[in-house]
Amino acid sequence: MQLLCRLGLVCVLLALPLRVAAQSDAEGAADAAERGEGDADATDADAAERGEGDADATDADAADAGSTDADGSDAGADVEGPDAGAVSPGAEASPAPAEPRAAADDVEEPHAEAPAEAEAESADEGAAPDAPAAPDATAPGAADPDAITIEDVRGTGEVEDDEDADESAAPVPSLHGEYRFRLHLMNDLPLQTQERTGFPDELGQNLWATNWLRLTGRLDFAGGRLALVGQIDLLDGMLFGDETVGVDAAARPRDGRTAFDASGVDPRWLYLEWTSPIGLFRAGLQPSHWGLGLLANDGAHEPVFGDYRYGNRNLRMLFATRPLGASVPFNVVLAGDLVYRDPIADLTDGERALQAVLALLYGEPERGVGAYVVYRSQRSEVDGSGAIPSQFDDELDVWIVDLFFRWDVEDPSGGRLFAAFEGLYIHGDTTLTRTAERSTFDVRQWTWAAQLGRESDAFDLVLEVGYTSGDSNPEDGTQRRATMHPDPRIGLLLFPEVLAWNTARSSTLAQSELLTGRPSPGSDLLPTDGGVSGATYLFQYALIHPKDWLDLRVGWIWARATSDVVDPYRARAESSLVNYRGGDPSSRDLGLELDAALLFHVLLPKDIEVTAGVEGAVFVPGHAFDDAAGNRMDTMGLVRLRAGLEF
């Protein structure tokens, strides 16, 4: 399956003329550009890695497994398991109303970061109904090219009445490309270890460089009513630098120079869409995005700091329509998925997750309200490695309800004031985190985030508050720890690095054959991969645009755990309730982080945009990271040099 997807996708991209095309065509039919707006868009198709809503789910123990997506690709709901993180089913399929982290979910930010940083919005093509107006590709959280947008559904009626559409015209190809280079410098990150494994007591990575090339192609037929869309990531991985040790369980462990090997090639989309008189039909491997991207996230919305990397993908059949007419912004989206890859399921690893999705969205380009409902049924083969062979399959069955709204009003002094909210609840049961005493665990998880802010051409100011439920006792029969999708990144250090690598080390130890005869059930779901898990946070940031070619971003984050901070590995293997460094688990203060970025972008002839800049963070750890002797963890620092090209 994976090989066929890669071959098909490469063929689509190679068939396109290598002419430089600015951002792909914004086809009215499935223009996925906005999604970020939190409008009443229809649903985004795919992306579900957290972002993609899948009723996914389970996070092993105290750590969180993936986050749920409200879109097609489910992001996994975290089911906190006896020793894994919480199960997070993901929602799936569709509307991509609000953007993940953009100040104004989908609102265009003309001066936001350069396109090279933003996703290939040019490839934005149809995706299910999502955000109405396509946001600026350069804005943080800019709408994803494949997210389902309101414009997609609205276009169905318009195409029907378009007498000028030339169905006999030759196919129209377009190609959008985005290249990124990043050089990172970070001080030592202490991690727990076990002498028998030989792992160091730190991450072992201080200097490293990565790069990434994303190509998105679209081929339009029949006057734009029919289109073939494909996207592929190439050269994705480390180029040089220090390699991590003992964190293999992470989705991207940075433990080798992978940019030029097979793992650096990742086919993301390959689908056919048809804008019919009654609505939009789409079939194939596609992304998904909904709301702020907490559950369903397509991995194509630029965060305020850092980069998007994941994105849920599903083999999906989708239908989106406006039953009351093209002029009435009431969108209905139906989808059926076989999850290809998201935070808690990977079809190539024998994890079979099916999803049914219904999304309802009412609204206009910058205001809307909607509901995203997903049922997910997942069957995963038990890991047969180790001394005990696999004898049964583990199961996850959950319902996810995800509500979203975004509203804005004109500010008398100029600009716009806005408010946005996304909240979801995951309910069901799973055997993914089974123990000898208990085979089935209930899944009860909550996740929400709210934004208040003001946007203008010169200055944006946003305050965001977020919450994911925690679980201080993963062995009590209920998995409560939830994890957001990793792509709506909150800052640069606390969640993307410190907690991500601590949960990855815990998971790696739990799966080590040197320590256990067989991996602990659910331990593979422990890594958060950068998603917010079992924590509440305040995130305030400002985007300043003094010049068309210059952006300044500053922000701060304060976070606190929503339950005792318990290391799942030690809780199960040693019956010891301690934090990741062996300290007091009742200390919940995660710490304070300061972030800043200075970004440049210059538009060259033939719609080529060059970007460059520097961003960094300082993290002052809270008592949740104290060691057994009560010593505080040292202050952490990170600097990232950025360069990119978009065409």
Write the pLDDT tens digit of every residue in 364-410: 756 899 999 999 999 987 554 444 445 567 899 999 999 999 999 99
pLDDT at 247: 96
pLDDT at 517: 63
Q: What is the mean pLDDT of residues 82-88?
A: 39
Q: What is the mean pLDDT of residues 136-140?
A: 43
Average per-residue pLDDT for the chain: 79
Q: What is the mean pLDDT of residues 417-438?
A: 92
| DSSP tag of 61 | T
- Answer whether residue 309 shows pLDDT above 50: yes
Of the candidates 626, 535, 620, the one whose C-alpha atom is nearest the C-alpha of residue 581 is: 626
Reported as a single tens digit per residue, the pLDDT across 39-52 is 333 333 333 333 33
Model confidence band, residue 467 (pLDDT cutoffs 50, 70, 90): very high
Percent of the chain with pLDDT over 70: 72
Residue predicted with more confidence, 134 or 397: 397
pLDDT at 602: 96
Residue predicted with more confidence, 560 or 326: 560
Reported as a single tens digit per residue, the pLDDT across 11-41 is 333 333 333 333 333 333 334 333 333 333 3
- Sequence spans of domains, the chain: 31-159+184-201+275-363+384-646
Q: What is the mean pLDDT of residues 231-241?
A: 96
Of the candidates 38, 31, 34, 32, the one whose C-alpha atom is nearest the C-alpha of residue 105 is: 38
* E strands, 33-137, in order: 77-78, 87-88
Q: What is the mean pLDDT of residues 75-87?
A: 38
pLDDT at 290: 94
- The answer to whether the beta carbons of residues 9 and 332 sit under 8 Å apart is no
Percent of the chain with pLDDT over 90: 61
pLDDT at 493: 98
pLDDT at 266: 94
Q: What is the mean pLDDT of residues 57-85?
A: 37
Model confidence band, residue 573 (pLDDT cutoffs 50, 70, 90): confident
- Answer whether residue 159 shows pLDDT above 50: no
Residue predicted with more confidence, 325 or 135: 325
- Answer whether residue 163 shows pLDDT above 60: no
Q: What is the mean pLDDT of residues 604-611?
A: 95
Model confidence band, residue 161 (pLDDT cutoffs 50, 70, 90): very low
**The token pair that represents 383 in the structure block:** 């890991």
How many CB atoms are located within 10 Å of the residue 586 CB? 15
Model confidence band, residue 167 (pLDDT cutoffs 50, 70, 90): low
Task: Using the structure block, give the residue that is written with the tokens 């006057």.
Answer: 223
Element of type H or E holding 555: strand 550-561
**Those residues with Cβ within 8 angstroms of residue 15's Cβ, 6 or more apart along the chain or in another chain:** 173, 217, 219
Q: What is the mean pLDDT of residues 259-283?
A: 95
- Fold classification of 31-159+184-201+275-363+384-646 is Porin (2.40.160)
Model confidence band, residue 59 (pLDDT cutoffs 50, 70, 90): very low
**Those residues with Cβ within 8 angstroms of residue 119's Cβ, 6 or more apart along the chain or in another chain:** 137, 142, 144, 145, 178, 214, 300, 301, 302, 308
Model confidence band, residue 496 (pLDDT cutoffs 50, 70, 90): very high
Q: What is the mean pLDDT of residues 331-342?
A: 96
Reported as a single tens digit per residue, the pLDDT across 97-115 is 333 343 333 333 333 333 3
pLDDT at 382: 59
> Strands 478-479 and 441-455, how do they pair?
parallel
Nearest-10 Cα torsion for 300, 304, 310, 312: -60
3-class secondary structure, 48: strand
Model confidence band, residue 572 (pLDDT cutoffs 50, 70, 90): confident
Residues in the chain: 647
Residue predicted with more confidence, 519 or 594: 594
Model confidence band, residue 568 (pLDDT cutoffs 50, 70, 90): confident
